[in-house]
Structure 1
């Protein structure tokens, strides 16, 4: 399993590349939720999402080992992150994206000189294709979440939260494949185990919720949730044991709740976030956290929104 030492090493490795993102607050949402609400603003991160942390840690390590190229499979944000850091390091990158990938994310990948290949609509389809391409190109596959270096990179979010808000009592984290939450869990629980960590999934993309209920990794069918970054088929084989060991709770939010949270953050907080980020706000707004009078941090995981489709998200 990933250790707190791994996360500290990741922080040192990526410190010259990533931003230390701010923590925002909202008095309106605090009054609505009955908690002091704070927001870890990873939507203001380079490439517009937390993914650049894990991708940078993995690609920098691979580059130091002399890799000739990198390949990734991504619905968008991980692909952007891999293309971004690979471009900085002068390493060719190929990104396999779903056929229905967010147009703005695909455009961003190309802007970082990443080559694009489309494959299917699920992670079960695109990940094997990316692995094949990596072998054909003699390069390295950069997993979107199920990799120790990627997990450790995402865990740096947890280190920053603990330093920026010493009185934090709960952290609410979106769950896709589990890289972000497993990294944050390791960082926070190893340093301050009293802090509650609550994961959030869409009702229609509840693979981690079901896996915890069944006490084993459980797959789900294809889903069309607006939280496109959370559309994984099942938790990772490395991430799930970490989640199972440390997690306090996983809650589910509906598509309507995600939409309302997205609109609230845009209208009241003047912040443009992705639906995948909005799930944490939705969990707080619609009383899914089962807590009062606590200092709660919602992780806003990304802000890469296709503006042409934003009207259909609300």
Structure 2
């Protein structure tokens, strides 16, 4: 794709030592928009432009909206993004800086999405933040890049929000005939996939809570649930405090600031919640953190007594 980049694959000495294995960090935080969403959204936007789109409509809790706004700017296409009230001002400002129209509506992404869909017409194309094949195709390229660098992972650890990341990674693993565990990490207040796994049915949460607002989908996409039922997906939940502690440790260890949604993944490694072996090559998706600042992370440490 034109508007995403090949991201670094870094072996983490600290996390490898802690977990007695080889931990490989896929640094999606280094994308131009600060998250893996640039792969998914970038691919979808390009596909729709090829089909004649002249305006983009989307809904987002943060990172997807930032990428749609960015793509609109580089493709010279107007963009409207509807975000819920939980979206950080930092994320909204980044969308506005790319020239997008941003509308704040509703208490959750579901509310924002309903309004966004009402704006769709023959000329304005809807860019779903997590539920479309174009998105998963873009994400699957992450696995292509890892394999090209000579690493065949024995496990993947990633965060789950709406489900585009796990859907795309699963697709990439299948392409390369890798039947390996995927550890799906959510915060306690956003655990729509983990709840679905435990109940064995695709459920919608009554509400989503906590600071990991970019994970705050009440229901994962059907493809993500299907992946969890047909593959070796192992769900874990972590607290908001654990995510913040992981963000701070990662900043110290790797000089990279990531948001709590990404800290959720990192926390299970810092807290050694998964048992690995010395020969394991563990792929960790560092999904990003465009909408976080150090000041905000510091406020979370006070609020959560981290």
Name the structure 2 match of 1:29: 15
User: What TM-score does the superposition give when structure 2 sets the normalisation length?
Assistant: 0.93
Q: Deviations over 1:238-282 (max 9, x none)?
A: 332133222431111112211111111011221111111111111
Structure 2: gaps (5+ residues): 302-306
Looking at structure 2, the residues matched to 69 and 52 of structure 1 have their Cα atoms a distance apart, in angstroms, of 18
C-alpha distance in structure 2 between counterparts of 1:230 and 1:247, whole Å? 21
Answering whether residue 108 of structure 2 is matched by residue 84 of structure 1, we say no
Measure, in 1, the Cα distance between the counterparts of 2:247 and 2:177. Answer: 30
Q: Secondary structure at the match of 1:94?
A: strand
Q: Distance in 2 between matches of 1:287 and 1:206?
A: 20
- SS across alignment from 2:119: helix
1:242 and 2:248 correspond: no
1:54 to 40, 47, 58: 40
The aligned counterpart of 2:282 is 296
Taking the aligned partners of 1:61 and 1:223, their CA distance within structure 2 comes to 32
The 5 A counterparts of 1:170-181 are: 170-181=155-166
Structure 1 residue 165 displacement after superposition: 4.5
Instruction: State the secondary structure of the residue aligned to 2:33.
Output: helix
Q: CA RMSD in A?
A: 1.6
Secondary structure of residue in 2 paired with 1:48: coil
Deviations 1:117-151 (A, max 9, x none): 0111312111111111123x841110011111112
| Matched pairs, number | 299
Q: Do the aligned residues in 1 keep the contact of 2:58 with 2:129 (CA within 8 Å)?
A: yes
Partner of 2:296: 309
Equivalent in 28, 49, 53 of residue 42 of structure 1: 28
Q: How does 1:103-142 map to 2 (within 5 A)?
A: 103-135=89-121, 138-142=123-127
Gaps of 5+ in 1: 1-13
Query: Aligned with 2:222: secondary structure?
Result: coil
Deviation of residue 312 (structure 1)?
Answer: 2.1
For residues 79 and 234 of structure 1, the distance between their equivalents in structure 2, rounded to whole angstroms, comes to 18
What TM-score comes out, normalization by structure 1 length? Answer: 0.90
Partner of 1:10: none
